[in-house]
A and B are shown apart, each in its own frame.
Chain A
């Protein structure tokens, strides 16, 4: 399979990339790691006039600290995220979930920003960044703006990014084990390297055997990643034990509108959300 012909630009700075996007006429696609875009182009599900390759912009790669935030460049590969010591220390959930994305070769090319900007509700990382209360920084002709994760994902494969904006970095509040945080990503899929039928990203903060705060992101339970807000509320003050957690997890699918496809009906997805939320919260709550 061969993609339809397109023009190709390879800017070397963020400013040049934004100018290229702003000046473009016709349909334009940003090429990050290409692990979603190239299959789409090969299948001719998209026919961009221009592909803007942001793979050679050094300022888009890497992880750094900024006060109480961890800042991850949009073009940081999954492989780099998994092995980054700062990510492991301050955003362990992201490292754990990223190891579940695709396979080693895909993780060498695929990037955090590319996955988020593609906004497939079945991909793992949007729900994780939502559970981490992340913020996404977009660069455009008017400068930069910060978009909370809960406002970023607007619909199936749709985000708050304007056509002339580029996702440049992801900012995550630091969550460390020393502050009582435990985490777990529970993914349910048919075979290795397949998409999540449902996934649950759980952050749980404990104090003296009780849950004081939780943040739960759901993968593939609607056209965007969503938070299991009813379960989050029910967990506040609950003992970090199987029964109270199971009761709170009964509300995990409340307010969701999961899709039906060859893998699962909406009802089955709701069932999975409850079961996987119980497992994810318990695993997070029991983390040493």
Chain B
């Protein structure tokens, strides 16, 4: 067992963990923070994406011991005083989900993208989310939501954001 101290969504936890324990299992099984799902378990789908010391990571591909001394933000740490994060609002308003399984990872990856590039184009959003898979094929509204949250499109899915997104989808269909 290895002793770790991790700050998760603002609360510091101290725990003895097996070195082989994955961060996502620590969050879910030890801390009960089940807002972060396990998707593919193979570093592909990005459903388990969290923020580790300011950078998006796939929490199925980080050991809990590697997060010792670090700050983790999960989807459950985004709202402040009950007010949703702008990305959460945008995903809701743009209907950017169908089953919702990929949504926590999509939002955490999009949050990282917008911190690095506050006003991305639709293509840049798609590139920034390349590590996050949606099996419901709901990418169109996800891109719209990220653009809306960035202020590049209106919250109701009209305007430049959606138009840019549609252009991209046509291009990809043609390939």
| A residues whose Cβ falls under 8 Å from a Cβ of B | 1-8, 10, 31, 34-35, 38-39, 41-43, 51, 53, 55, 79, 102-106, 108-109, 192-193
On whether the beta carbons of B66 and A104 are closer than 8 Å, the reply is: no
On whether the beta carbons of B57 and A38 are closer than 8 Å, the reply is: no
**Contact for B20 among A4, A10, A192, CB less than 8 A:** A4
**Contact for B109 among A3, A41, A53, A104, CB less than 8 A:** A104
Q: How far is the CA of A41 from the CA of B22 in the complex (A)?
A: 11
Chain B residues positioned under 8 Å from A6 (CB to CB): 19-20
Interface string of B7-31 (1 = CB under 8 A from A): 0000000000011101001000000
On whether the beta carbons of A106 and B43 are closer than 8 Å, the reply is: yes
Chain A residues positioned under 8 Å from B56 (CB to CB): 104-105, 108
On whether the beta carbons of B62 and A104 are closer than 8 Å, the reply is: no
Q: How far is the CA of A5 from the CA of B58 in the complex (A)?
A: 21
Interface presence of B33 (CB below 8 A): no
Q: Which of B43-101 contact A (CB under 8 A)?
A: 43-44, 46, 49, 52, 55-58, 60-63, 65-66
Q: How far is the CA of A126 from the CA of B41 in the complex (A)?
A: 26
**Contact for B41 among A1, A55, A106, CB less than 8 A:** A1
Chain B residues positioned under 8 Å from A31 (CB to CB): 63, 66
On whether the beta carbons of B66 and A53 are closer than 8 Å, the reply is: yes
On whether the beta carbons of B113 and A104 are closer than 8 Å, the reply is: yes
Q: How far is the CA of A103 from the CA of B41 in the complex (A)?
A: 16
Number of A-B pairs whose CB atoms are under 8 Å?
83
Q: How far is the CA of A31 from the CA of B18 in the complex (A)?
A: 16
Using A5-B18, A53-B63 as known contacts, list a sample of 19 further A-B pairs with CB atoms less than 8 Å apart, ordered by residue number in A. Answer: A1-B41, A4-B20, A5-B19, A7-B19, A34-B66, A38-B22, A38-B60, A38-B62, A41-B20, A42-B42, A42-B60, A53-B66, A55-B66, A102-B131, A104-B56, A104-B128, A105-B57, A105-B58, A108-B56
On whether the beta carbons of B131 and A105 are closer than 8 Å, the reply is: yes
B interface residues, tally (CB under 8 Å) = 30
State the Cβ distance, A30 to closest chain B Cβ, in Å.
13
On whether the beta carbons of B62 and A109 are closer than 8 Å, the reply is: yes
Q: How far is the CA of A105 from the CA of B128 in the complex (A)?
A: 9
Interface presence of B123 (CB below 8 A): no
State the Cβ distance, A12 to closest chain B Cβ, in Å.
12
Known contacts A35-B43, A79-B55, A193-B44; A106 and B131 CB within 8 A of each other: yes
Q: How far is the CA of A265 from the CA of B113 in the complex (A)?
A: 37
State the Cβ distance, B27 to closest chain A Cβ, in Å.
15
Interface presence of B2 (CB below 8 A): yes
On whether the beta carbons of A35 and B65 are closer than 8 Å, the reply is: no
Residue of B25, B62, B66 contacting most chain A CB atoms (<10 Å) = B66
